[in-house]
Structure 1
Amino acid sequence: MADQLWKEAIVANIFVKGQKLAQTALGLLRRQVKAPSLFTFKFGIADFRGAEGDVVNIKRPAVLVAREKPWRGDDAIVVDRLANSKIQVALNRHIYSAVALSPEEETLDEIDYVRDVQVPQVNAILDFFENIVVGALRAASFVFGVTFNPASGSAVESDPRKVAIRARKLAQQAHWPLTGRYWLVGANVSEAVASYEKLLDVDTAGLPEALREGVVGRLAGWTIVELDALGEDESYFVHETAVAIANVAPAVPNGVAKGGGVAAGNGLAVTQLWDYDSTYMKDRSIVHAFAGATAVTDPEQAADGSIVRDENDAVVLKFQRAIKVTFGAGGAEKASYTVSITGAPTGGTFTVTVDGQTTDAIPFNASSATIASEINELTGVSGATVTGGAFPGNAKTVTLKERAVVTVTGAFTGGTSPAIAVA
């Protein structure tokens, strides 16, 4: 039935107007595209025309915190500065699929253009586009993380509803809107979630057409969607604004026989070209598009709501619109570590490394607040806390919002064989 609909979209003669071919390709793309149709930040030709470096800078609203002055007090007020930051979206990928048809193929092989040429081309574009969007999510430095391990003895990790509730709490802390929340899952995670007996059904009427077949169900306010582009054990809780997508239909060259570009819903745009290569006596069909995707970061806020700035006074931006899920037992990652110093050093420094990123040197007797501040300056870390007695005589507990691998290195002076360890 689907093949018949596609055939009816163009006339039998493949030498039709290029615009019609582009519309057919776009229709196929819209039916199947998942990840790009899920995210709502989309930018097209009007945004990128004349943009320096093919990058669009979207200024975001300033964030401020209200403060309270003591009643009848004469304390000085705190004057905050506007924190200006931007969302940067780059158009930097050129996706294409090119196919040549020989005279023998066109004459003897009963080529159906839509079925045998355009559909495979559009599917190839679709797969590439999906991977660009998912790749932006996969490469992001996540602030938040949860664990979903069906084999765990702890219900907080093994029960998908409790995992979803934990993710909902993190989303609330990051002030996500209540709508547009998704749990994106790979095949193995989807299987584990789908077996949960209390999974709720979802009314898919308001979802993009391509997402409907991938909907697994709903838990704790999350619509669960299986994506083919994700690895089997890959999974993320996301808000629909977590990734910004760029997509432009390239201009049609003057030298082609037929061609057209179409931009339409869901942020999709493609150009279809058809020409003849006289050197090799072959017709050529090309479907291509410009694309890009960027994880959307936001200004980090301190506990009192004020904006965090780095040593250069620039606003610190962190990726807070998605939550990474560790599926299964994971590796050596943990969310809580105990750090201790032995040997009674009287001087020197130490560093903390979180998932390969290392802090600046920290004094051997640094306070919990100083250590937490240094850790939170690392990319992908936000909201880490440090508690415990004074260093170096007491152990300290480092608690992260995401499971990570943490190591420590010391360079101490004085004392007796001083060392630092983490467990």
Structure 2
Amino acid sequence: MSLNVFAKSEKLAAATLGLLDRQIVLGSLVARDSGADFSGAAGDVVNIKRPSRLDGAEQDLRADNSGGIASENLAEWKISVPLDKHVYSAVDLSDAELTLDVADFGAQVLDPQAKTIVKRIEKKLAAALQTAPAVGTVDVDKSTGEPINDAAVRKMIVKARNVLNRQDVPVAGRYLVVGADVESALLNDPLLIRVDTSGTDSVLRESIIGRLAGFTIVVSNDIDPGAAIAFHPSAYILVNRAPVVPSSAQGSSSSYEGLSVRVMRDYNSHTASDRSFLSTYVGIGEVLDAPEGTPKGQEATAARQLRAVSFKLKPVTPKPDPEGK
């Protein structure tokens, strides 16, 4: 059987990465750090540098500086993100299948493999997002699933905004990722602002339902239907690396739109099958900050998630209206 496909392995990798990129939603909302060929291994740590934070000083305009100006020390620190997951898809194809059944390798083999890798990455991101500190709950009718107070979801979003504001989280670029039930409540809100998403990635564009209280609102089926997470993209970081291609195999690793993956094909004469193998190393890092006013030297122990908050719908049985309204 001919293996001439390896002569175009770079093209094969680029085509696969294009499929991956067009499926990403949550991965487009958080900070990302990726690379092409990676000389390390699964479980290795990628260090993300954080800038120094200074306090500054002040004095009276005509103060005596004979004692010297107070200086500060720069102290950069880092976030260590372990590449703790090897996400992959392997498909074995017989000689007969390749000869008689596979007319378009990209559409019939690579596309399903790419989608399952993205699905796993998205679910991992969704799980990380849903650990954000809670700011409250919204009561919904247990029988109908509708909010008991029509404005309750909007008020909770405003509360989330207030919490982020008080924690000095950047205003620009904030997102609110919601599950299907929260989306339904928001679509009935007359204050929801529809936005022009032209020029946005096609999958992300279809997921954006509007803007409210300074958040771009995105729906995701990987989020609990009754959950919502308000955050700045810098709250979490998705790190991924394409593993190196072993010297005993043929294939390619590449980077496309911030996502790296390794693509390999090999032949097993014992089983008379051709294997298509896609893989990537993935890690999710949470960006923790020390609250303002934390004493010097205690930042690491005081650090917590300040850039993301969450809330949930809470099913309850409404109390009967005494006036029968």
Question: Is 2:294 the counterpart of 1:307?
Answer: yes
Measured at CA, do residues 261 and 53 of structure 1 come closer, stay the same or move farther in structure 2, by a change above 3 Å? Answer: closer
Partner of 2:231: 238
Offset of 1:57 from its aligned partner? 4.4
Paired residues of 1:295 and 1:319 also in contact (CA < 8 A): yes
- Of 107, 116, 121, 1:115 maps to 107
Measured at CA, do residues 325 and 275 of structure 1 come closer, stay the same or move farther in structure 2, by a change above 3 Å? Answer: same
Offset of 1:49 from its aligned partner? 6.1
Paired residues of 2:89 and 2:116 also in contact (CA < 8 A): yes
Question: Is 2:303 the counterpart of 1:317?
Answer: yes
Paired residues of 1:262 and 1:271 also in contact (CA < 8 A): yes
- Of 259, 279, 283, 1:288 maps to 279
* Structure 1 Cα separation of the partners of residues 27 and 240 of structure 2: 10
* Structure 2 Cα separation of the partners of residues 23 and 235 of structure 1: 34
Question: Is 2:22 the counterpart of 1:35?
Answer: no
Tell me the alpha carbon deviations over residues 215-244 of structure 1, each in whole angstroms, 9 at most, x when there is no partner.
111111111101122121222011111111
Question: Is 2:157 the counterpart of 1:164?
Answer: yes
Measured at CA, do residues 99 and 53 of structure 1 come closer, stay the same or move farther in structure 2, by a change above 3 Å? Answer: closer
TM-score normalised to structure 1 length: 0.63
Question: Greater relative contact order: 1 or 2 (C-alpha under 8 angstroms, separation 6 or more)?
Answer: 2
- Of 82, 90, 103, 2:95 maps to 103
Task: Tell me the secondary structure at the aligned position of residue 192 of structure 1.
Answer: helix
Tell me the alpha carbon deviations over residues 228-275 of structure 1, each in whole angstroms, 9 at most, x when there is no partner.
22121222011111111111111122222x41111121x201111111
Tell me the alpha carbon deviations over residues 298-349 of structure 1, each in whole angstroms, 9 at most, x when there is no partner.
1122xxxx22579x7854101011111122248xxxxxxxxxxxxxxxxxxx
Tell me the alpha carbon deviations over residues 279-313 of structure 1, each in whole angstroms, 9 at most, x when there is no partner.
10101101111111111111122xxxx22579x78
The more displaced of 158-167 and 124-133 is 158-167
Partner of 1:197: 190
* Structure 1 Cα separation of the partners of residues 300 and 6 of structure 2: 56
Measured at CA, do residues 208 and 175 of structure 1 come closer, stay the same or move farther in structure 2, by a change above 3 Å? Answer: farther
Tell me the alpha carbon deviations over residues 45-98 of structure 1, each in whole angstroms, 9 at most, x when there is no partner.
599869x942314233224265788x99xxxxx999877643222222111000
Partner of 2:266: 275
Paired residues of 1:236 and 1:322 also in contact (CA < 8 A): yes
Offset of 1:211 from its aligned partner? 1.1
RMSD (Å) for aligned C-alpha atoms? 3.2
The aligned amino acid for 1:192 is: A
Alignment of 1:24-423 (within 5 A): 24-44=15-35, 53-64=44-55, 85-139=77-131, 142=133, 145-151=135-141, 158-205=151-198, 207-256=200-249, 258-265=250-257, 267-301=258-292, 306-308=293-295, 314-329=300-315
* Structure 1 Cα separation of the partners of residues 224 and 123 of structure 2: 11
* Structure 1 Cα separation of the partners of residues 106 and 37 of structure 2: 30
The aligned amino acid for 2:224 is: G
Task: Tell me the secondary structure at the aligned position of residue 107 of structure 2.
Answer: helix
Paired residues of 1:214 and 1:226 also in contact (CA < 8 A): yes
Measured at CA, do residues 313 and 58 of structure 1 come closer, stay the same or move farther in structure 2, by a change above 3 Å? Answer: closer
Offset of 1:207 from its aligned partner? 3.8
Offset of 1:117 from its aligned partner? 0.8
Between the two proteins, the alignment pairs up a number of residues equal to 301
Measured at CA, do residues 254 and 214 of structure 1 come closer, stay the same or move farther in structure 2, by a change above 3 Å? Answer: same
* Structure 2 Cα separation of the partners of residues 38 and 99 of structure 1: 30
Measured at CA, do residues 252 and 269 of structure 1 come closer, stay the same or move farther in structure 2, by a change above 3 Å? Answer: same
Offset of 1:195 from its aligned partner? 1.7
For structure 2, list consecutive stretches of 5 or more residues without a partner in the other structure: 64-69, 142-146, 317-325
Task: Tell me the secondary structure at the aligned position of residue 243 of structure 2.
Answer: coil
Measured at CA, do residues 65 and 46 of structure 1 come closer, stay the same or move farther in structure 2, by a change above 3 Å? Answer: farther
